[in-house]
Amino acid sequence: MSSCAADAGGPVPGAATTAAPPLREVIRAYGLTADKRLGQNFLLDLNLTRRIAETARLGPDHSVLEIGPGPGGLTRALLDTPVRSVVAVERDPRCVAALQPLVEAAAGRLRIVQGDALALDATDLVDPPAAIVANLPYNIATPLLLRWLPTLDRFTGVTVMLQSEVADRLLSPPGGKAYGRLSVIVQWQARVERVLGVPARAFTPVPKVNATVVCLTARPDRPAADRATLERVTAAAFGQRRKMLRQSLRPLGDPTGLLTAAGLPPTARAEEIDIDGFVALARALADRDETLG
């Protein structure tokens, strides 16, 4: 069963953090002027943060990993759910300082780790049952997701806010405008659901683009394939996405042989091939590499 929930709206009972000062006050008191290099666009609307936390379907046994708590808006919403604990990884020392009153108010349920989320192993930070919930820094959202994919089954769900353009690529079916390498690599390993759209004006400062919350869960029926080989195939295929595969797969050698072995028509284009088709191509390439030694 999926652990993602489409936005249901409505309040979440229990406000453990109502005593904390308003977020705008925290931002002012700690001088949290937004640092673009850290992808800082803060979400100060507590109704929205509550809705995001609610869609993650967190239970009392859950440990939640949050990346980039910033001034702590989403962190508060997570603490207002019944979860066992929240571990929040933040790179900006100013935000880490600003979160200390919340750490105290949370009475042992909140731990802040100062560091670069890209350098940490998410599975080391939280014990199962665990979930990831975050308003991700846009500049590292895709590398973070790619890093989490192989161990996605260790989390009941990954509920993240992303630039809508990236969310579209994660969600796109074959034939869609946004369908590409990222769609294939992610959908091969995960089921991706759209949870909620968030307009740019909801953030402070207001970014140029809208955001979308998506939820990823591990695919129990994921077809076996070697990720590196699948990446080689998708890189070649989408490198020339308008061309027929018999042309675009040339860099891999004998494209017609590969397409025949994969049961795909040589006239097909990358954007028409579904996940199973790419997996079949990756297997055909791996078999050929093995045969050639």
- Six token digits for residue 91: 């790179």
- Asked if 126 is part of the footprint of ligand SAM (rule: CB under 6 A), the reply reads no
Q: Which of residues 20, 68, 181, 234 is near ligand SAM by CB under 6 A? A: 68
Q: Which is nearer to ligand SAM, 42 or 238 (CB)?
A: 42
Closest distance to ligand SAM from the beta carbon of 32 (Å): 8
Cis check: omega of the bond before 223, within 30 degrees of 0: no
CB 124 within 8 A of CB 132: no
Say how far apart CA 237 and CA 98 lie, in whole Å: 47
CB 245 within 8 A of CB 273: yes
Residue where the block lists tokens 């604990």: 85
- Asked if 67 is part of the footprint of ligand SAM (rule: CB under 6 A), the reply reads yes
Q: Which is nearer to ligand SAM, 15 or 38 (CB)?
A: 38
Size of the site for ligand SAM (CB under 6 A): 23
Closest distance to ligand SAM from the beta carbon of 71 (Å): 6
Q: What is the distance of C-alpha 242 from the center of its chain? A: 28
Q: Which is nearer to ligand SAM, 182 or 213 (CB)?
A: 213
Stretch that binds ligand SAM, among 10-18, 34-42, 176-184, 261-269 (CB under 6 A): 34-42
Residue 67 phi, psi dihedral angles, 5° rounding: -105, 130
On the CB side of 279, CA atoms within 13 Å amount to 14
Closest distance to ligand SAM from the beta carbon of 91 (Å): 4
Q: Which of residues 104, 116, 153, 254 is near ligand SAM by CB under 6 A? A: 116
For residue 142, give Cα distances in angstroms to 26, 66, 132, 149, 249.
29, 16, 15, 11, 25
- Asked if 58 is part of the footprint of ligand SAM (rule: CB under 6 A), the reply reads no
Interface with ligand SAM (CB under 6 A): 38-43, 67-70, 73-74, 89-92, 95, 116-118, 135, 137, 140
